[in-house]
Amino acid sequence: MNESNSSANPPNPLPILESVVAQVSKTPDKYKFSKVKDSRGRTVEGIWVRNERFYGQLRIPGKKGPRRVPLHGENKLPVENLRDAQNAYRLILTNKEAGEMPQARRTPLFADYHLHYTDWAEKMGKKLKITVDKERRNLRRWQETLGTLPINRITKADINRHLMKRKEEGCCNRTLNLDVIVLGNCLKFARDVEGLIKHVATEEIKPLDHKAPTRTLVTEADIEKICAEATKLNEQGMPVYHNGQQLSDYVHFMLFSGARRESAAHVKWADVDFENRRVMLVKTKYSKVNMVVTFNDRLEKLLREMKARMLDSPWLFPNPWRLTSQANFRKTFDRVREKTNLETFNYHDCRHFFISWAVMSGVDTMTISKWVGHEDGGVLIGKVYGHLNDAHLQAQAKRLSFGTFTAQEPAPAPAPEPAPANMVDLSKMSAADLLAALVNLQKKDAVAA
């Protein structure tokens, strides 16, 4: 009876299990193939695992013995659980019956692979697009040295050759260290996510010595010098720079709000709340939730002045030729800096100025970190942005007092406060007197009631 039922309903060789966790038999070497078991401890036919990657076993015509091919999902990435592995294996068997065999695996060249990595990072990995764009540009430079090499053939010598070339071009050690980090991200993706290589050559490269230069605190006089040049008029009373007034407003806005240049450029008038005295920064560095900066007196004054001469545009800093888009101050800013001999001044100096003066004004670092979008509660501000000028240090030193007493002459203990006139020392009264006083007190309470 059991045999007839078994022949009539043969078991499905690839049951789709509800469990998505594969129980893999233990092996001393993770790089050896091991059979996969389902949640009930039964061996799953045709599917193997090695180094946490799933493989399907099949015979290929013309090849001796069975072959194991890596299993990928619809997104071309390795499957991550048993259920997906079974679906991918079933698809391979179906394609085999149709005459389509899996392609032989070949380690990709770096010129091709770094494009695959950045595409994956943009679509599925890193959320910050600006970081992906920087890595894409950096890896293009690596392609000049490593483009013809398979990613598993990249060595420490190849990396050092590229770094020497970049050093000859004038790059500092910090830039070279960042180059190595970006290349390492690409190769670690090939090793840890896709299992294409076993060794990452960048892990053998020691970071080059680098000491960040101490940034001087820009003065408000320098900033006003920039803004005065930007709003300069010619002999006919016309602006020298067609968007000079906007550039001055832009610099002042960053100076009084602490906003980054991208955040400031994307502010609209709809983001300015005069009633509640705050401005919302929608465009933030790490695509976080909107940041809110509370008005200070100078920021509010600036925004009201800008509102009075506002152009017919939703943007605080619109393009004067096309009001539907933001302004671009790059050319004007470069000309103004050259005229004022302040070529080293940049937009981030305004943010640096805002945070430093907030610290020197006694604002707590927790509040400052909220204004400028830091999520560490003020740790970074205490380490990096707490640059205090000499005048502030001298003023604070004058407030420091050690008192009039030395360690050898301790301050006398404060005199005890005198007891009230009607205070009685109960310790000197007899038990009979205490009892009589208690009775009198009870009589007074009864009369008062």
For residue 294, give the nearest of 248, 259, 265, 318 by alpha carbon: 259
147-194 confidence digits (pLDDT tens) = 889 999 999 999 999 999 999 998 989 999 999 999 999 999 999 888
- What pLDDT, on the 0 to 100 scale, is given for residue 447? 55
Tell whether 25 and 81 lie within a shared domain: yes
Tell whether 45 and 114 lie within a shared domain: no
Q: Rounded to whole angstroms, how far apart are CA atoms 99 and 66? A: 17
**Final residue in a domain of this structure, among 204, 229, 250:** 204
Q: Rounded to whole angstroms, how far apart are CA atoms 110 and 200? A: 13
In a domain, 431, yes or no: no
344-355 confidence digits (pLDDT tens) = 888 888 888 888
- CB–CB of 282/290 below 8 Å? yes
Lowest mean pLDDT among 52-56, 175-179, 275-279: 52-56
For range 95-109, the mean pLDDT: 73
Q: Rounded to whole angstroms, how far apart are CA atoms 393 and 389? A: 6
- What pLDDT, on the 0 to 100 scale, is given for residue 285? 66
110-129 confidence digits (pLDDT tens) = 988 998 888 888 876 555 55
**Final residue in a domain of this structure, among 43, 64, 97:** 97
- What pLDDT, on the 0 to 100 scale, is given for residue 99? 75
Site of tokens 């605080």: 316
- Annotate 252-293 with DSSP letters as a single string: HHHHHH---HHHHHT-BGGGEETTTTEEEE-S-TT--SPEEE
Confidence tier at 405 by pLDDT (50, 70, 90): very low
In a domain, 24, yes or no: yes
Residue 82 lies in domain: 2-97
- What pLDDT, on the 0 to 100 scale, is given for residue 69? 82
- What pLDDT, on the 0 to 100 scale, is given for residue 11? 44
Token digits of residue 150: 């398979």
Does residue 304 register a pLDDT over 80?
yes
Helix 110-123, helix 129-146: angle, nearest 10: 170
- What pLDDT, on the 0 to 100 scale, is given for residue 122? 80
Going across the sheet that includes 34-37, the strands are 23-24, 34-37, 43-50, 53-58, 67-70
Site of tokens 């059991």: 2
Dihedral sign for Cα atoms in the order 320, 322, 324, 328:
negative
Query: Does 27 or 312 have the greater pLDDT score?
Result: 312
Lowest mean pLDDT among 160-169, 228-237, 289-298: 289-298
Tell whether 50 and 140 lie within a shared domain: no
Tell whether 63 and 119 lie within a shared domain: no
Does residue 100 register a pLDDT over 80?
no
Tell whether 197 and 229 lie within a shared domain: no
Sequence-distant (6+) residues with CB within 8 A of 188 are 200
Query: Does 74 or 439 have the greater pLDDT score?
Result: 74
CB-count burial class (<10 Å; 0-12, 13-18, 19+) for 168:
exposed
Helix 348-360, helix 244-257: angle, nearest 10: 40
For the chain, give the percent of residues with pLDDT over 70. Answer: 70
Residue 121: which CATH number? 1.10.150
Q: Which amino acid is at 207?
A: P
In a domain, 442, yes or no: no
Residues in the chain: 449
Confidence tier at 5 by pLDDT (50, 70, 90): very low
Token digits of residue 22: 């594969």
Confidence tier at 28 by pLDDT (50, 70, 90): very low
For range 373-399, the mean pLDDT: 64
> Which residue spans within 274-404 are E strands per DSSP?
278-281, 291-294
Tell whether 268 and 355 lie within a shared domain: yes
Tell whether 310 and 226 lie within a shared domain: yes
Tell whether 227 and 310 lie within a shared domain: yes
Tell whether 175 and 254 lie within a shared domain: no
In a domain, 418, yes or no: no
In a domain, 433, yes or no: no
Lowest mean pLDDT among 187-191, 199-203, 208-212: 208-212
**Final residue in a domain of this structure, among 170, 204, 238:** 204
Tell whether 247 and 386 lie within a shared domain: yes
Tell whether 369 and 235 lie within a shared domain: yes
Domain count, the chain: 3
In a domain, 438, yes or no: no
Confidence tier at 17 by pLDDT (50, 70, 90): very low
Q: Which amino acid is at 409?
A: E
In a domain, 427, yes or no: no
Residues forming a β-bridge with 24: 36
For the chain, give the percent of residues with pLDDT over 90. Answer: 23
- What pLDDT, on the 0 to 100 scale, is given for residue 164? 93
Tell whether 285 and 339 lie within a shared domain: yes
- What pLDDT, on the 0 to 100 scale, is given for residue 10? 45
In a domain, 430, yes or no: no
Token digits of residue 428: 């000197």
Distance from the Cα of residue 339 to its chain's centroid: 36
Residue 249: which CATH number? 1.10.443.10
